[in-house]
Chains A and B, each alone.
Chain A
Amino acid sequence: MSEVKFSKEHEWITLEGDVATIGITKHATEMLGDIVFAELPEKGSNVEKDGTAGVVESTKAASDVYTPVSGEVVDTNQAIVDDPSKINEDPEGSAWFFKLKMKDQSEMNSLMNKEEYDKFAKESTS
């Protein structure tokens, strides 16, 4: 599996073959608070880099989930729809959002690595 990459919209992404797994970062869940609702893209649909690909709602507000790369949705994580609190518990592990069959793997190049993202996240909160 590839190294974990991060977007400015606080998504994380890993790549295995041409299938990317995408979720939201721990930092994002801390900003959102308790997540109580999740909506995911439909399997088989095509999503475009930086487009919306879902919604999460906390007790406070609704936020769009964006996709950091383009591709066809090949799998979604029903477990987080059934129990959205899982997203707070394990955001960067079992609570992934969706898997995409990527069209253009070079889209990964513009994303941040862990170190860059941690710095970005720290600056964007302060």
Chain B
Amino acid sequence: MEIKKTSLNKLHQSNNAKFVEFAGYEMPIQYSKGIIEEHKFTRSHSGIFDVSHMGQLFIYGDETLTEELEKIFPLDLKNLKQNCSKYSFLMNEDAGIYDDLIITKIEEGYLIILNAACKDKDFEILSNLLGSKFKMNLDNDRSLIAIQGPKSVEILKSIINGVDQLNFMTGNWFDSNNQKLFVTRSGYTGEDGFEISISNDKAEKFVENLIKKGAQLIGLGARDTLRLEAGLCLYGHELDINKTPVEANLRWAISKSRLSNGGFIGSKKIMNQMQDGASQIRVGIKPEGRLIAREKTKIFNDTDKQIGEITSGTFGPSVNGPIAMGYVDKEFSKVDTKILLEVRGKKYPANVCALPFYKKNYVKGVN
């Protein structure tokens, strides 16, 4: 299959990006300054991320759409206000996760942001579940740009009037240069920031404008270290079809009002696990010293019994040390539990720790 390119590909090239293939797309892993500099720049100033490979699924319909979506997602969508976003999951009957996503209630419908590697399958699953009653558009004509970090609000406000009025996890349509942009205040770095949905032909100009105002392009490498410091899950690593939201320690994302009556796909398993607990659970892990324990590293207790596995591990530039997430047996999931990580045949000490590794900077109440 031919590798796909986003509308910003040329701009990445002219900014000396190193490319990798990610979910069938040629994406920048880093630019000339490197992952650590890009990471720190995002935390201190403002980083621009091309996330156009992600799926932007617009679904339009009447109030029966909300009812139908409540049969799928563990959310109280009836009481979700227009322009408000929720983190959620597309699951199978066993509550295994097909994808994690952000759903926003928009005028006459919903916008769902899907992972690049999952979006086509998600579309198929949702089409089968919803039938032909609703208008569904996995929009390939729009790019998705994230701008993250403390200076982002000032920079974006100078281009799109009024974005500073958005609260975290809300969004709205904005007009800028005679075009309609959908902007949400959200992100994947642990910083305040925005995601902007913009038509492909305007994306490059828009990003050039952000760069002129002082923001810098950031690659997928730093996106990964930023999200890991923020304790956020990455599909295909912390989450997959064999993991449930309860095991992933994401019960907060399941609306309380939906737990009493269920009625969404996977609800039976979720309700059971909420009551009895899951046998394995996702935790934060901090290796002692500087050792990095990467994905698939085996986790042991002090009697040499394997008790889990790392799902993501890297060096956290803002933490200035190694960090990881992984799954451990329930009895080892308490903060400060001593564990051992097997790296290159030797076992090294580590501790279960609270997430996030890096304290969030989200703007909660603007209004």
Q: A55-B344, A57-B315, A59-B221 are in contact. Are A37 and B292 (CB under 8 A)?
A: yes
Q: Are B344 and A60 in contact (CB under 8 A)?
A: no
Q: A59-B314, A60-B221 are in contact. Are A33 and B30 (CB under 8 A)?
A: yes
From B29, B36, B292, B344, contact of A34 by CB (8 A): B36
| Neighbouring B residues of A37 by C-beta, 8 Å | 290-292, 315, 322
Q: Does B12 contact A (CB under 8 A)?
A: no
| Neighbouring A residues of B294 by C-beta, 8 Å | 61-62
Contact with A along B271-310 (1 / 0, CB 8 A): 0000000000000000000111010000000000000000
Q: Are A84 and B290 in contact (CB under 8 A)?
A: yes
From B29, B30, B292, contact of A36 by CB (8 A): B292
Q: Does B210 contact A (CB under 8 A)?
A: no
| Neighbouring B residues of A36 by C-beta, 8 Å | 36, 290, 292, 315, 322
Q: Are B34 and A62 in contact (CB under 8 A)?
A: no
Q: Does B56 contact A (CB under 8 A)?
A: no
Residues 32-71 (chain B) with a chain A CB within 8 angstroms: 34-36
| Neighbouring A residues of B36 by C-beta, 8 Å | 34, 36, 59, 85
**CB of A18 to closest CB in B, whole Å:** 30
Q: Does B225 contact A (CB under 8 A)?
A: yes
**CB of B345 to closest CB in A, whole Å:** 12
On chain A, the number of residues with a Cβ less than 8 Å from chain B's Cβ atoms is 13
How many residue pairs between the two chains, A and B, have CB atoms under 8 Å in the bound complex?
A: 38
Q: Are B35 and A57 in contact (CB under 8 A)?
A: no
| Neighbouring A residues of B292 by C-beta, 8 Å | 36-37, 57, 62
A59→B290 CA distance, assembly (Å): 12
Contact with A along B319-348 (1 / 0, CB 8 A): 000100000000000000000000010000
Contact with B along A41-85 (1 / 0, CB 8 A): 000000000000001010111100000000000000000010011
| Neighbouring A residues of B221 by C-beta, 8 Å | 33, 59-60
Residue in chain A with minimal CB distance to B39: A59
A55→B294 CA distance, assembly (Å): 14
**CB of A54 to closest CB in B, whole Å:** 11
A81→B291 CA distance, assembly (Å): 11
Q: Are A33 and B315 in contact (CB under 8 A)?
A: no
| Neighbouring B residues of A84 by C-beta, 8 Å | 290
| Neighbouring B residues of A61 by C-beta, 8 Å | 294
Q: Are B35 and A34 in contact (CB under 8 A)?
A: yes
Residue in chain A with minimal CB distance to B294: A62
| Neighbouring A residues of B35 by C-beta, 8 Å | 33-34, 59-60
| Neighbouring B residues of A81 by C-beta, 8 Å | 290
| Neighbouring A residues of B34 by C-beta, 8 Å | 33-34, 59
A81→B290 CA distance, assembly (Å): 9
| Neighbouring A residues of B290 by C-beta, 8 Å | 36-37, 81, 84
| Neighbouring B residues of A85 by C-beta, 8 Å | 36
| Neighbouring B residues of A59 by C-beta, 8 Å | 34-36, 221, 225, 314-315, 317
| Neighbouring B residues of A55 by C-beta, 8 Å | 344
**CB of B110 to closest CB in A, whole Å:** 36
A34→B33 CA distance, assembly (Å): 10
**CB of A55 to closest CB in B, whole Å:** 7
| Neighbouring A residues of B291 by C-beta, 8 Å | 37
A57→B36 CA distance, assembly (Å): 13
Contact with B along A80-97 (1 / 0, CB 8 A): 010011000000000000
| Neighbouring A residues of B317 by C-beta, 8 Å | 59
**CB of B34 to closest CB in A, whole Å:** 5
| Neighbouring B residues of A60 by C-beta, 8 Å | 29, 35, 221
A11→B30 CA distance, assembly (Å): 25
| Neighbouring A residues of B30 by C-beta, 8 Å | 33
| Neighbouring A residues of B29 by C-beta, 8 Å | 60
Residue in chain A with minimal CB distance to B33: A34
A85→B306 CA distance, assembly (Å): 33
Residue in chain B with minimal CB distance to A85: B36
Contact with A along B76-92 (1 / 0, CB 8 A): 00000000000000000
CB-defined A-B contacts under 8 Å, sample of 7: A37-B292, A59-B35, A59-B225, A59-B314, A59-B317, A62-B292, A62-B294
Chain A to chain B: the 5 pairs with minimum beta-carbon distance, closest first? A36-B315, A59-B35, A34-B36, A57-B292, A34-B34
Beyond A33-B221, A37-B290, A85-B36, 7 additional pairs, beta carbon < 8 A: A34-B35, A37-B292, A59-B225, A59-B317, A60-B35, A62-B292, A62-B294
Query: Which residues on A are within 8 Å of B, measured CB to CB?
Result: 33-34, 36-37, 55, 57, 59-62, 81, 84-85
